[in-house]
Structure 1
Amino acid sequence: MKQLSLPVLLNAKMRLSNFVGAKNNQIVTLINTLFNDTHSNVVVISGDKSSGKTHLLQGCTFTAMDKQLSAVYIDIKEELPTDFLAQLSTNDWVCIDNIEDANNTQQQELFDLYNQIKHTQTKLIISTHHLPAELNLLKDLKTRLSLAVNFTLENLTDEQKTAILQSKMTDKNINIDPKIYPYLFKHYSRDLNDLLNAINQLDKASLQRKSNITVPLVKQVLDFDND
């Protein structure tokens, strides 16, 4: 197994097995079938912020490594060496997050990578906020990605977000009043990343104060008023 060294830490909790969403089961099923496919494949995953794109890509990376395959997860937002993307064709799985942030040089490298893997078994999984046709990319790259398998993730319901947040609390062995979640949705944010950050802040505050996570603590720590 070969794993490239990059300044990106994988989150061990992001697995395909705990990726949520009824419609999203379709893409998980597709991804799982690719592990038995001997041809190269390109899949573009689009979705709104906090729809689970990073979770899915890191889940692919973990599954590949579990199967003793060479895999690499890359976030385009991170600083990458020049010509790095074009050198990834020897990997079995290449998962590239936030492709809309790629500069022109990186886009050309990605186009080169796309062409290099045509006759390999490499699986190229790319995430983006919008469908390729809607992105400001090099024309040839946009055309290639538009012809790939494209899948749009569904937006999570409040119930699904609650399940994710509750899972985080269970992992930390922390009890929390279930009423806290709808309170956060109404008065703080419905964005999952914002909510996860808030939960981490509340966790630290409750440990410092040696108290439970309550509505008064939420208002104090997150510094917002009940409107």
Structure 2
Amino acid sequence: MKQLGLPVLLNAKMQLSNFIGDKNKQILTFIETLFLDNNSNVVMISGSKSTGKTHLLQACTFAAMNKQLNAIYIDIKEELPEGFIVNLSDIDWVCIDNIDVADSVQQQQLFDLYNQIKQTQVKLIVSAKNLPNQLNLLKDLKTRLSLAMNFTLEVLSDEQKTVILQGKVTDKNIRIDTKIYTYLFKHYSRDLSDLMSAINRLDEISLQKKTKITIPLVKEVLDLN
């Protein structure tokens, strides 16, 4: 799904209903309360790689749109129109991913947006790898984000990552034995993006060779011998 003319595609599989993690339940509960709150709210989501920051922000965007609200998801890593961020104060839900890589101009725009929405009903959800006081941001912006509602996503276990991967491969009609995941975690990577890319490669090669995805094939394709 595209949004407001931005070249960012939302992944319809990223929903609040399939966002996992026992400790993350409090975050989901809080997000649900935001839909009943008529005041502006700013939420800071932090977490290391593969903890689900993008999933959560896109899921918030979908949830807002499903309630007939105007919502937008922005990834600072993607190219954005000049001055785009500061002009979002009339959007109901603004979800901005990876603010830790924002340049000084974007940081100033985010600070201005923060101030613009004070007396509105806008919900601003932002994400970064670390808590505000650990980020290299403009001092005033860092102070504002420190005062926001802050949540840190839990680091997922291998079992939880397996559940996520199984869901993704099922959507792609790929069949993989669970022992393959265990092997990949141990010998290849625990990063979900890396793992999904590897699985896509394995699926492509297995189709070419007309064989199942096996540990010998994993070793061959990913050069793990």
Using the size of structure 1 for normalisation, the TM-score is 0.96
- Matched letter for residue 220 of structure 2: Q
Structure 1: gaps spanning 5 or more residues: none
Asked if 2 retains the 8 angstrom alpha-carbon contact of 1:83 and 1:109, the reply is: yes
In the TM superposition, what whole-angstrom CA distance separates every residue of 1:115-148 from its partner, at most 9, and x where no partner exists? Answer: 0100111000000000001111111100000000
> In 2, distance between residues paired with 1:165 and 1:24?
18
The yes-or-no answer on 1:79 pairing with 2:95 is: no
Q: How does 1:170-209 map to 2 (within 5 A)?
A: 170-209=170-209
Identity of aligned residues (%): 72
- Partner in structure 2 of residue 20 of structure 1: 20
> In 2, distance between residues paired with 1:140 and 1:31?
25
The 3-state SS of whatever aligns with 1:24 is helix
> In 1, distance between residues paired with 2:208 and 2:5?
36
Q: CA deviation at 1:81?
A: 1.4
Q: How does 1:32-181 map to 2 (within 5 A)?
A: 32-181=32-181
The 3-state SS of whatever aligns with 1:112 is helix
- Partner in structure 2 of residue 212 of structure 1: 212
Q: CA deviation at 1:222?
A: 1.2
Using the size of structure 2 for normalisation, the TM-score is 0.97
Structure 2: gaps spanning 5 or more residues: none
> In 2, distance between residues paired with 1:173 and 1:134?
41
Asked if 2 retains the 8 angstrom alpha-carbon contact of 1:89 and 1:116, the reply is: yes
- Matched letter for residue 27 of structure 2: I
Asked if 2 retains the 8 angstrom alpha-carbon contact of 1:3 and 1:70, the reply is: no
Which runs of structure 1 show a deviation greater than 6 angstroms over 4 or more consecutive aligned residues? none
- Matched letter for residue 20 of structure 1: I
Higher mean alpha-carbon deviation, 151-160 vs 29-38, is at 29-38
* Count of residues in Structure 1 that have an aligned counterpart in Structure 2: 224
- Matched letter for residue 67 of structure 2: K
In the TM superposition, what whole-angstrom CA distance separates every residue of 1:169-223 from its partner, at most 9, and x where no partner exists? Answer: 2222222121101100111011111111111111222222222111111111112
